[in-house]
A = this chain, B = another copy of it.
């Protein structure tokens, strides 16, 4: 069997994630492995927590990376906050909202969902009406719907949820590090993200943060968290406790990568990072318009880092993406769920969101659409 690691070629990752890993992150990944209770590694953990607090814009003490990908982060917030029978409201306008519902149902929640049309945002009036009708323990929403490219009104929904006294869960897998995410200001009680989108780090970890109020609720559960691996009441002892009690062996080298990724973002500065994403988004949209390619989402609801386009007329879904991959060494994403076969998704996340990459993609799209 030929070793396939040597043969890996660099592909320009412009799909819905993973994005291009930053060169400094690659170097960090291959630094010497330390023990998970090593005193120097514990200093690294402390810095990661502090940097995550900055990126999440929060003072929450329980702000840590979970040892799994973004979906593990989603499961973490639900499995820790939900007890059987808890009334939960999920706002759904894409594949990841649907996933939230699936997870809540598996946990035995009394889960209601409100469905909004794919490609359009959650509307606060309807949410407010529902919150008047029924008392929920938890309201959950995706900030940046990766399946559609829609930005949901995270701050406005946060205000409503706070008024109604529920816990507010927010998915920022795709938004964190690419646009404003303000945990404390938005009254978010439990938030999660991924490393492989705007943080320019390979997939494998999920940063999460819980408000003190959410932590209190978890510590006072009637039943044990049914999920051992993701039980934050135990993991908190390792990440934030005085004794650093062993829970599971932390993914050391991936955490080196996250450390460096966070350092890169904070060195550039959050505002600068957001602006770069927005500028690259505008450049891309201008170029797409010149090619006659249509955006799926109305201008005011678009995410900068995830751009859904209708598959150009006359181009076959699979063939078009294969041409990009093989002739141009570029990956973009296909459609998910309701959008499968109809939509392509172009990511401008983290290290991918650079002028030369946008130019390269636009040229390649021109070639495959023969404009």
Contacts and interface: CB of A to CB of B under 8 A. Distances in A.
User: Which one of A26, A225, A336 has the greatest number of beta carbons of chain B within 10 Å?
Assistant: A26
A299 to B, nearest CB: 28
Contacts of A32: 8-11, 21
A71 B72 CA distance: 14
A11 B30 contact: no
Contact of A5 (B5, B31, B224): B31
Contacts of A203: 36, 249-252
Contact of A35 (B18, B34, B69): B18
B33 A70 contact: no
A94 interface: no
A119 interface: no
Contacts of A5: 27-28, 31, 44, 256, 259-260, 263
Interface string A51-91: 10000000000000001111110110001000000000000
Interface stretch (A100-108, A137-145, A209-217, A270-278): A100-108
Contact of A249 (B99, B194, B263): B194
- Please state the number of chain copies in the assembly: 2
A233 to B, nearest CB: 12
A33 B20 contact: yes
Contacts of A26: 30
Contacts of A256: 5, 8
B251 A204 contact: yes
A359 interface: no
Nearest to A257: B253
Interface residues of A, number: 79
A162 interface: no
Nearest to A24: B5
A18 B202 contact: no
A116 interface: no
A171 interface: no
Interface in A1-41: 1, 3-5, 7-11, 13, 15, 17-18, 20-21, 26-36, 38-40
Contacts of A72: 67-68, 229, 248
A29 B157 CA distance: 40
A6 B34 CA distance: 13
A8 B70 contact: no
Contacts of A50: 1
A325 interface: yes
A301 interface: no
Given A70-B249, A75-B229, A202 B33 contact: yes
Interface of A: 1, 3-5, 7-11, 13, 15, 17-18, 20-21, 26-36, 38-40, 43-44, 47, 50-51, 67-72, 74-75, 79, 99, 102-103, 105-108, 194, 196, 202-204, 224-230, 246-254, 256-257, 259-260, 263, 325, 331, 336
14 contacts: A4-B40, A5-B263, A18-B35, A67-B69, A67-B204, A69-B250, A74-B228, A106-B225, A108-B226, A202-B252, A203-B252, A251-B254, A253-B257, A254-B254
